[in-house]
Structure formats: C-alpha cells, structure tokens
Amino acid sequence: MKRFFASDFFYDFVRSPVALLSFLIVLFLVLSAVFASVIAPTNPFDAASLNLMNGFTPPMEPNPFTGDVFWMGTDDQGRDLFSAILYGLRISLFVGAMAVALAAVMGVLLGLIAGYMGGWLDNLIMRFADIQMTFPSILVAMLIFGVARGILPPELRDEMAITVLIVSIGLSEWVPFARTVRGSTMVEKEKEYIAAARLIGLNRWQIMMRHILPNVLNPVLVIATITLALAIIAEATLSFLGVGAPRTEPSLGTLIRVGQDFLFSGEWWILLFPACTLLALALSVNLFGDWLRDKLNPRLK
Amino acid sequence: MLQPLLEIKNICVEFKTRGGALKAVDDLSIDVQQGEILGLVGESGAGKSMMGAAILGLIDPPGRLSSGEIWFKGQRIDQNPEPFRGCEISMIFQDPLVSLNPLKKIGDQLVETILRHKRMSRAQAIDRACRGLIEVGIDPERLNAYPHTFSGGMRQRVVIALALASEPSLIIADEPTTALDVSVQAQILKLLKKLCDSRGTSIILITHDMGVISETTDRVGVLYAGRLAEIGITDHVLRSAKHPYTQGLVASTPKIDPDSFGRSLYQIPGSMPKLDAIPTGCAFHPRCTMRTNKCSQERPPMMKDTAACWLLEEME
Amino acid sequence: MSFITAKNLVRRFDLSDPWIVRKLTFRPKKFLTAVNDVSFSVEKGTTYALVGESGSGKSTIAKMAVGLLTPSAGTITLDNHNLNDPNLSPQRQRLMRRRIQMVFQSPYASLNPRWRVGDILKEPIQSFDLIQGTKNQAKRVEELLEQVGLSPSDAKKYPHEFSGGQRQRISIARALSSQPDVIICDEPTSALDVSVQAQVLNLLKSLQKEFSLTYLFITHDLAVVSSVANRIGVLNKGALVEEASPEELFTNPKQDYTRMLLNAAPKML
C-alpha cells in the first residue's frame, strides 16, 4: 500500500484535476448507492409506505395535502425521487459492474485461448467477434434479452429480469477484452520466460493462467473502466426502452422512462434528476477511464 | 596546435525527476580534431549516447543541457544547434530504419537532402546522389529502390550516404554496427574509415565494443557514469591504461589469443551505478581495487589530460 | 564418450501462403531450410560452441535440443536416449527434458516480470517434484541464489529490481534448479556489458566444474567462444562448415568462411 502511494501513478493522479474530480464523483455515487438504505429517507420499493396523496410534489415545496417536503420531489405515485434515484443508482451500478465482470472474464479467457493457441481456434473466436462487432452492441443485448425472455417461464420473468439484463449486456461487450488480450498474449507468448516455462514441462493451461494472464491484465483494467460506462448506458437504454429493469425495481433508465411521460405536463423533475445522475455517473466513469488509459497503456489510444 | 573542430566544455545533461535532478552527463569536456575518428566507449548507462544527442541539441525533455558550452568551428552551438544539425554535423544511428523514410525511394531521399543544403539543379543533385552511392559501395542503379529491399548492412550504407550528402565536417555515429553481423560490421567500419581519410571528415564513434574502438579510432574517451574516466590515443589507452576502470574494461574483454583459451576472464566486481545512486568522490571507487580514502571523498580532476584518477597524482 | 549427439539434424520451416492463396496464384509451397544435415557430438562436462552469423541456424538447433522445436529429420540423443522418440510416453519425455535446460539471450524477456525471484526458482522444483516441503524448497532456492552469486534475501524481490547481469544470474539459477545435466546457453552474454559479461562467463565456467555440466554454447562472438569452448562448430546458412578445437580453429582455420569470420572479428591490438 505504501508503495502505491509513493508510485508515479499516484503522483500523477493527485496532480490531474480531471482524474481526481471524476474519481471523487464516481466514489461519491458508488458510496451513496452502497449505503442507499441508510441515506434514503424512504424505501421506494415498499409499496405500503407510499402515499398517493404525495404524487407530483415539486422539489423543495411542501405538498398541498400532506405538507411533506421532498428534496427532489415525487413521481406520480408519491414515491420520493431522491430515494428512488439512490436505489436506482444501486441497480444501475450493480448491473453495470456485473455485466463488465462477465464480459471481462469471458473476453480475457477467449482472448488468451485465441492468442496462445492460434490456428483454427483463433480464427473461430476472432471471426465470431468480428461478426458480433458488425452489430451495435445495444442490438445484440436486445436480441439476447429477447431470446432469454422467450425461453424463461413467465412467472420467473420479473425475478430473473436483472440477471438476464446482466447476461445480455455482458455478452454484448466481451469483444474489446478479447481483442486486446489476444494481442498482448501473442506478444507475451514469444518472450523467453514462456519458453522457460515450457522447458519445465508446464502444460498450456498452466502457462496461460500462471504466466501469461498476469502479464496481460493491465489493459484489461482500462477497458473494464471504459466498458463500465458503456454498460451503464446500455442498461439505461434497455430500461428506457422498457426491456430492462422492471418498474418494481427501477434503475436510472426506468426512472428516466417514467419521467419522460410527464415532461410535457410540467413535472420536469421526475425526468431531470435521474437523467443528471446518469450523466454524472457515465461521464465521470468515462473520463476516469480515459485518464487510466493514457497513464497505463498509451498504445491503446 | 590547431583549433579543434568541436570543443565540448564542461557540459552537464540533467534529467528532472520527482527525486531531484539526475545527471546523465556530469561535467564532461572533450575535443574533436579535424579529420580524426574519436571513439566514445562505455557500458550502458555511461552517458555515451547522451553525448551525441547533446551535441546535436536532441535531448528530449525532461532532460536538458544544464550547463557547459559546445563550440563548433569557433561558433557556440549549444544555444542554437538547428542550423548545424543534419548539415555540418550529421548522425548515424544503430537502427538504419530510424533515418530512412520507408515510403520514399532512397534516391529521392538523397536528392532531397542534397537540395536542402546545396544550391543546384535537380539533375546535378541526382548526379551527386549517384556518386554518393558509389562512394559507399552501392550500385547507383538502385537509386529507385525502396529501403525495405536492402539488407541490414546495405541499409546502413544508404544511411551513411545520406549522412554524407550534406558534406558534413562531423559525423556522429551512435553504435552504427551493433545490429549487424561481424562480417558486415567489418565492411561498414572500413568504409567509415576510408571516408574519413578521403574527405577529411571527423567522426565521433559511440560504441560499447572495445574491439571496434581498437580497430577504428584514432583517439578514445572512456566514459563511466556520465563522466570522462580516461582519454588518449587509442593504442596508448588500450595498451597501458591509466585509469583502473579502463584497465578492467580491457582485461575483461575476451580476446582471440591462444594463451587465454579456456582461462577465466578478469572481472570487475559490481556493476555500473544507477543515475540516482552515483557514489561520492570518484564514481568508480566502490568497484576499484586500488581505491584510497581520498577516492571516496573527492572527485578526481583530469590528471595530465589523460585520466581522472587520484593514482596519477601520487605518481608525480 | 559423447553425451549429447545430434545426427543429420534437419529443420525446415513452412513459409507458404495460406492454402486458398496458393490455389488462386498457382504457387507451390515454400520452405526454408534453417538447419541442413548438421551432426555433432558433445562430451560430458565440456563446452561445445556453435558459432554463426544471423540466419546460420544456430538458435534453431538450440531450440531443437531443448525440445521447443521438433526436428524435421535426424535425431538428438542424450546419453543414448532419443529425445524425440515417438514411442516414449509423455511422462518419460518430460523427465528426460528435465535434464536439458536453457539460459536465454535477453535478461529482460526471460524472467516473468510479475513473479518474485523465489517463485521463479521454485517453479521447476515443484513442477518436477524434486524436493518436498515448502521449507526444504525455500532452502534450496537460497542455496541456488548463493551458487550464482546473489544473496538469499533476493528471493523476495521482483526481476525489475535487478541489473541485466544479475538477471542473467537468476536465469542461470532457474536452469540449475531443474538439476540438469546439459545447459543450452543461447547468446547468454550478448546483451550484457563487457565487465558484466566476464562475470557471467566466469560463473558459467565455475558452475560447470562444480556440477560437471555439459554446455552447448550458442554465440556469434568468436572472442567469447575462444574463452569458453572446448570444441567449436562453425555454422553457415544452416550447415556445419567446420569443426575443431579452439587451438586449431583460431590458428589454422580450414574453411574460407571461418577465415573470413576470423578476419572480420574486431580484435584488440
């Protein structure tokens, strides 16, 4: 830990306002999402606590019927928007992070195999990646989402919605991981320490996992950060289109979809606050990812 | 004595880092005479390549020439090296591909260089380019060939022709033969020597190879940790080195000599210090077998214009 | 008695275009013969040097000797066992491979940058199951480090904390940790400074005496060869053109190519 604080990486980080600010915003949003149940004044999922009389309360104004005041106002069902955003953030971040984890594990493994084995296996994996890349990832995600919904029995649909969301976004984002890891693997496998490992009789799997993997992970961290921003937006897009998180477990995208219905009737806050949160989150994750890329791997530019 | 072609006076090259300024070249003075081949020899980290870059003003930030003067033909050039770079002074690098544009025919590259420095018609320039290629031993019919069609040694010849195109008075050759096979290396060195004789061009030959120094150079400067350890006529330095580092370097170089077959080589203990941990006093003293107390405290000056070592003082 | 023997060794590389391109352009397959009918034998406890310029096939021979490449034809035998015997079980083959290890050219690429030195040295011990128990293994690692002139506390460090010469020592220690009979040295000092080169060459010599190791020494540097080799083979374009003891080769070379190499080598005084 001490070594980390003394490193050039940390030194540059503290001296880059963009990196520092974006990291702090991400940290702040992540912490508020994690501690949502502590911070939020109400539980937006608890239908019993909702008072329909509180519906459409503007921000920072007492409700004409109940006299309750809400920081960011309420939606049509009288749900506190501030609490809903905190819980929505939690779902958005969770889906984004899990989807990236899935994409990273899958991409890294396939990239390692393609890069190390070469030959027809490499061709198969990379051509499949090429084909997938010709479709916008949001379309791929929608396709997977639709197929999964079709397979699942109706009673499980809402329960599995989040899992399906994670899998469909994860499967649509693995390609950049695989491409990068394949490239670095092809460089690493020619190095002499790999030859040395072969000489002591390690098998391919051991060489890939023990020797190559630790040396190709640096760019993965960078791609993961940038993909996180993409995944969060993908989740919001799917939810906005109504194929993502259900209304009972609203993510930021769901909240935006709900808010959009009321934009023209004057209840602007229902749309504005979730949208600003999403913007802040995606933008700062992206900016931080860009900075990481410049620092850790200038070649990826 | 004639005025030297190039005079380097007390130059320092510093690199700014978080831990303070590191001196890659530390208070180094050296002259180059008209028409001589001066060798700069040293191990990695000795600052020999930095010297070449300093003369041409090619040190990239965070490094900079922090003090000292460089005089070329009676003009001070360290403040304003651009007019001389590539014209009066040219450079040959280890990797010939650095100096060649892969997308242009070598003839065009030569003609361009000639026209940039000399006022003449294109036809005259082409004629010059042909003669340049003949001089370095390349068939002038290959004027229209691209760099990738040449072998490594041939490419280095093209680079030499390119370096000569502006008719420089000084060529800085930084490890020009390190990437080449011995047989090709011998040809290239011979060529450089011939050109030096026929044109009166001076060459600074930067290398780590004592054999190359011995076969090619007139005088040699031995660098250690950014400082000049010893300088003199090549034969004298190699036969009777004054500085213990030079002695060690000569002794540890394997020689093709029936008496030494299978014998252990002399070895200098330890390794070159890193720039952030250069010892006080003489930079070589921790590895020196003849060190005294003085060596660890005071940095030795250049004694009698030959070596920077306190041992020479005692001999007086 | 010869310990490691290469007989009529051939290695061809297939440089052909992909099948579809070949069929469309009607071009035949292209082959490069990197090693052509090379035979030599090395006696136990001696150093045999293969000298050649780039493209002479010397590294290809080294790779075939350790099993990183299989010969296209011919055999390599160790102690009268064929290394590429197809009848041998993979397990037996692995055990035989243990006896031939390698020291590589690049001090930077030959050590895994993410591993501690101790783990690098321990890996062969564990892979070949040479020593049981973590404590005994750690002790063996310390012993290895001392044998190559490093300190036991270096086991905790990472490769980037060492200089080029020290890394080459680690590389040698890793080769030793498999307890080999033969070490293939592929240009082990060509990336090192002269003063460090002498240290490494001397270390290799003293280890040879201590463990009666057999070396196959691959290099382009005739001066290095003259100080280490008991016997020298000169390679040119994949073929062995001359073989002699250093005394013979340097005083009375028989082939034009050898003479040319000797003349070209930069000499000191």
Domains and CATH numbers, chain C: 2-264 (3.40.50.300)
- Tokens 């890294």 belong to residue: A108
On whether residue B122 sits in a domain, the answer given is no
| Mean pLDDT calculated for residue range A22-46 | 85
Over residues A26-35, the pLDDT tens digits come to 999 999 888 8
The H-or-E segment that residue C217 falls in is: strand C214-219
Between A3-17, A26-40, B30-44, the lowest mean confidence (pLDDT) is in A3-17
* Any domain includes B134: no
Q: What is the pLDDT of residues C57-112, one digit of tens each?
A: 999 999 999 989 999 999 999 988 888 888 888 888 888 889 999 999 998 899 99
Tokens 């799917």: give the residue: A238
Place of tokens 């352009």: C25
Q: How far apart are CA C99 and CA C183, in angstroms?
A: 8
Distance CA B196, CA B201 (A): 5
Measured between alpha carbons, how far is B162 from B135 in angstroms, rounded to an integer? 11
**pLDDT interval class at A284 (50, 70, 90):** very high
Residue C97 pLDDT: 87
Query: Residue C115: pLDDT above 60?
Result: yes
A91-116 as b/e, with b when 16 or more CB fall inside 10 Å?
A: bbbbbbbbbbebbbebbbbbbbbbbb
Q: Which of B76, B59, B56 is nearest to B9 (CA)?
A: B76
Shortest distance, CA B124 to any CA of chain C (angstroms): 37
Which among C167, C227, C231 is the top mutation candidate for probing chain B, defined by the most B β-carbons within 10 Å of its own β-carbon? C227
**Looking at the domain assignment, is residue B11 inside a domain?**
yes
Work out the mean pLDDT of chain B and round it to a whole number: 87
Where do the domains of chain A lie?
74-300
Average pLDDT over residues B69-90: 84
**Structure ipTM:** 0.88
CATH number attached to the domain at A74-300:
1.10.3720.10
Which residues between 54 and 93 in chain B have a beta carbon less than 8 angstroms from any beta carbon of chain C?
none
User: Full-prediction pTM beyond 0.90?
Assistant: no
- Chain C residues with CB inside 8 Å of B272's CB? 163, 193
Higher pLDDT residue, B60 or B174? B174
For residue A2, pLDDT over 70 is answered with: no
Give the per-residue pLDDT at C269. Answer: 66
Q: Compare B235 and B3 and report the one with higher pLDDT.
A: B235
Mean pLDDT of C108-127: 93
**Domain span holding position B305:** 6-88+166-255+267-315
- Residue C19 CA: distances (Å) to CA of A128, C16, C24, C82: 21, 8, 9, 34
Is B72 part of any domain?
yes
What's the CA gap between B14 and A69, in Å, rounded? 64
3-state secondary structure chain B: CCCCCEEEEEEEEEEEECCEEEEEEEEEEEEECCCCEEEEECCCCCCHHHHHHHHHCCCCCCEEEEEEEEEECCEECCCCCCCCECCCEEEECCCHHHHCCCCCCHHHHHHHHHHHHCCCCHHHHHHHHHHHHHHCCCCHHHHHCCHHHCCHHHHHHHHHHHHHCCCCCEEEEECCCCCCCHHHHHHHHHHHHHHHHHHCCEEEEEECCHHHHHHHCCEEEEEECCEEEEEEEHHHHHHCCCCHHHHHHHHHCCCCCHHHCCCCCCCCCCCCCCHHHCCCCCCCHHHCCCCCHHHHHCCCCCECCCECCHHHHHHC
Residues of C with CB under 8 A from a CB of B: 53-54, 163-166, 193-199, 201-202, 205, 220-224, 226-228, 230, 246-247, 250-251, 260-269
Measured CA to CA, the distance from residue B161 to residue A258 in angstroms comes to 74
Q: Residue B68 in contact with residue B46, Cβ under 8 Å?
A: no
pLDDT over 90 (residue C155): yes
Give the range among A9-18, A42-51, A191-200 with minimum mean pLDDT.
A42-51
More confident residue, B263 or C170: C170
Domain harbouring B221, CATH code? 3.40.50.300
User: Angle at Cα A224 formed by Cα A219 and Cα A226, nearest 5°?
Assistant: 100
Please say whether the beta carbons of C267 and B215 come within 8 A: yes
DSSP 8-state assignment for residue C265:
S
- Which pLDDT value is given to residue A300? 47
Cα distance between residue B284 and residue B243, in whole Å: 10
Out of C163, C195, C247, the one facing B267 most closely (by C-beta) is: C195
Over residues B103-118, mean pLDDT: 88
Asked if the model's pLDDT at residue A301 lies above 70, the reply is: no
pLDDT (tens digit per residue) in C186-208:
999 988 888 889 999 999 999 99
Judge whether residue A68 has pLDDT over 80: no
Question: B111-156 pLDDT, tens per residue?
Answer: 988 888 888 888 888 998 998 898 888 888 888 888 888 888 888 8
Residue B150 lies in a domain: no
Give residue A249's pLDDT: 78
Interface contact C101-A191, CB threshold 8 A: no
pLDDT band at C268 (very low <50, low <70, confident <90, very high): confident
Confidence of residue B316 (pLDDT cuts 50, 70, 90): low
**Candidate from A140-144, A209-213, B254-258, C49-53 with smallest mean pLDDT:** B254-258
pLDDT of residue A210 exceeding 90, the answer is yes
Question: What's the number of domains chain B is made of?
Answer: 1
- When pLDDT is averaged across residues A96-104 and rounded to a whole number, the result is 95
Q: Determine contact, residues B188/B153, Cβ cutoff 8 Å.
A: yes
Mutate to test the interface with B, among C56, C194, C205 (most CBs of B within 10 A): C194
The residue written with tokens 């984004």 in the block is A96
